[in-house]
Amino acid sequence: KQPRVAGICDACGSKEFTRRADDTVETVTARLKAYHAQTAPLLPYYRAKGLMEQIDGDRDMNAVTIDLERVLT
């Protein structure tokens, strides 16, 4: 998520941004490969058992938080 004003953090006003050492195309590619090989195949199993909840994480943070709290309690 980009800040509203380029170069200034929306939350704290800081102008100092750093990038993690593992924030690279190669790392993301490896993580996605692992997800598709190890996690994605489990989704149909847990859906069929009624043990999986799906939450749309692209919505407003408060809406996602409410759904997460509902599922976890």
pTM over 0.85: no
Section 1-10 average pLDDT = 87
Per-residue model confidence as pLDDT tens digits over 37-51: 999 999 999 999 999
What is the per-residue DSSP string for the chain?
Answer: ---SBTTB-TTT--------TT-SHHHHHHHHHHIIIIIGGGHHHHHHTT------TTS-HHHHHHHHHHHH-
Q: How confident is the model at residue 61 (pLDDT cuts 50, 70, 90)?
A: very high
